Chain A
Amino acid sequence: MDLTPRPSEPAKKPRKWLPIILLSLVGVGGVVIVTQFLRSAIDYYCNVDEIGIRSGCEEATRLRVQGTVEENSLQKIGSKTSFVMTFNNKSINVVYSGDPGGVFQECISVVAHGRMIDGTFESNRIEVKHSNEYAEKNADRIESSGSAACSQAQG
């Protein structure tokens, strides 16, 4: 059994800065690549006015399209829901196969998943995109909650 005393601590080596600097540069480089070069691949949706124009927003493919539900355009047709979605003064007709429910209403931003078929966007999924504004729902506003949403969406 070796019971010799523990050796004294070796002299401290000078700190190696190069690996730290290299790792930091790799990290920063990664951030630059992700933020600058992968934009089109990472964006979650196309805007209404970009369908058929922007790369990745081709009409023939399944799309996620963002826009605002036009005021007075919401209609129930049997089990389907129809509305006009607008962005940058460009509109499309949307037919959703169901009732969106939840906080879906006119004048609110939504993302519809689906395909363009004969000029109509046929959607089977609607996601409500709520704004970053929070206001009290009070007695005065209950009657005009739709217009409150319009002012938020347009503001």
Chain B
Amino acid sequence: MSQVLQSTSPTGTRATRVIGATAILVMAWVVVSGLLLTPQDVVQGESVRIMYVHVPSAWIAYLAFVFTAVASASWLISTKHSMGFDRFAGASAEVGVMFMAITLITGSLWGRLTWGEFWQWDPRLTTTAFLFVTYLGYLAVRRLEGSVEQRARRSAVVAMLAVLEIPLVHFSVVLWRSLHQGATVLNPNGDVKMDDLMLFTLFSGVVGFTLVFIWLVLHRQRTMLLVDIANHQGLDSAIVARRAEGSAN
């Protein structure tokens, strides 16, 4: 078992190093373009630059939670119940919660600069906060007592229910009257009213954040594998110790 642990110890591979290096390059471009090259907005002025972090982090959080649901469904449906699906679901949710926190923090700062308020209980902000708390609950469920199979089953059910909140969050600005502006890129008309360089920088941010997300999830799910192996190894060691005690008696 210790050989297995040693052979899987590095969580990085050639692929993750390439993804990581590309993410650094893309994010460097986003920083330069977002802070220096893109123009001020005609109404919002300099505060529009928060968009290059706020919007991609929100999209990646949604993506992460959808991946969590898909991996959870795969675990439930598959006959082998491969724990790889469960670890991927957990890793994706953890990274998604991080991006959701970034969304809430940057959104709050942006709101203070434009609306004049850090926070209001309007439909978009409330549903987003609810989504964030739901996935904190999901992560708590994963830490409940029980076997890895119990952990996987409980959290898979929660993940498949929690993902239903995402359409509610996204369409909250359409369904209800919200202080938050409507979608610019994913609007129902398909008519994107945004300066070209602003739009390109926004998409660069989405690509950069996606690469960061992939890099983090790959490393995190491998770390989770090592934890599971270590726990299993600890159980086997305890059994060996008890057998040794039995032999001595």
State the A residues within 8 Å of B (CB). Answer: 1, 3, 12, 15, 19-20, 23-24, 26-28, 30-31, 34-35, 39, 42-45, 66, 100-105, 108, 111, 126-138, 141, 145, 148-149, 152
Residues of A close to B167: CB separation below 8 A: 31
Structural contact, B179 and A134, CB atoms closer than 8 A: no
Structural contact, B123 and A42, CB atoms closer than 8 A: yes
Flag whether B137 is at the interface (Cβ < 8 A): no
Structural contact, B176 and A42, CB atoms closer than 8 A: yes
Q: List 7 A-B contacts (CB under 8 A).
A: A1-B245, A23-B161, A42-B176, A100-B116, A127-B116, A135-B193, A136-B195
Cross-chain contact of B41 among A1, A39, A101, A134 (Cβ < 8 A): A134
In the complex, A74→B44 CA distance in Å? 19
Interface size class of B (residues with CB under 8 A): 35 or more
Among B51, B160, B177, max chain A CB count under 10 A is at B177
Cross-chain contact of B193 among A35, A39, A102, A134 (Cβ < 8 A): A134
State the B residues within 8 Å of A (CB). Answer: 39-45, 47-48, 51, 76, 79, 113-117, 120, 122-123, 157, 160-161, 164, 167-168, 175-179, 181-184, 187, 193-195, 198, 242-243, 245-246, 249
Residues of A close to B183: CB separation below 8 A: 132
How close is B188's CB to chain A, nearest CB, in angstroms? 11
How close is B196's CB to chain A, nearest CB, in angstroms? 9
Structural contact, B194 and A134, CB atoms closer than 8 A: yes
Structural contact, B48 and A134, CB atoms closer than 8 A: yes
Contacts A134-B195, A136-B42, A149-B43 known; A102 to B116 CB distance under 8 Å? yes
Q: Which residue of the partner chain A has the closest CB to B120? A: A127
Given pairs A20-B157, A130-B44, A135-B194, 16 additional interface contacts (CB within 8 A): A19-B157, A24-B161, A35-B168, A35-B175, A43-B177, A101-B116, A102-B116, A105-B43, A126-B116, A127-B115, A131-B181, A134-B48, A135-B42, A136-B40, A137-B41, A138-B39
Structural contact, A132 and B193, CB atoms closer than 8 A: yes
Q: Which residue of the partner chain B has the closest CB to A3? A: B246
In the complex, A126→B123 CA distance in Å? 18
Contacts A1-B246, A100-B116 known; A133 to B45 CB distance under 8 Å? no
A-B CB proximity, top 6 nearest: A136-B39, A133-B193, A137-B40, A44-B122, A43-B177, A132-B184
Structural contact, B160 and A24, CB atoms closer than 8 A: yes
Residues of B close to A131: CB separation below 8 A: 43, 181
Cross-chain contact of A128 among B41, B114, B122, B157 (Cβ < 8 A): B114
How close is A109's CB to chain B, nearest CB, in angstroms? 9
Q: Which residue of the partner chain B has the closest CB to A105? A: B43
How close is B122's CB to chain A, nearest CB, in angstroms? 4
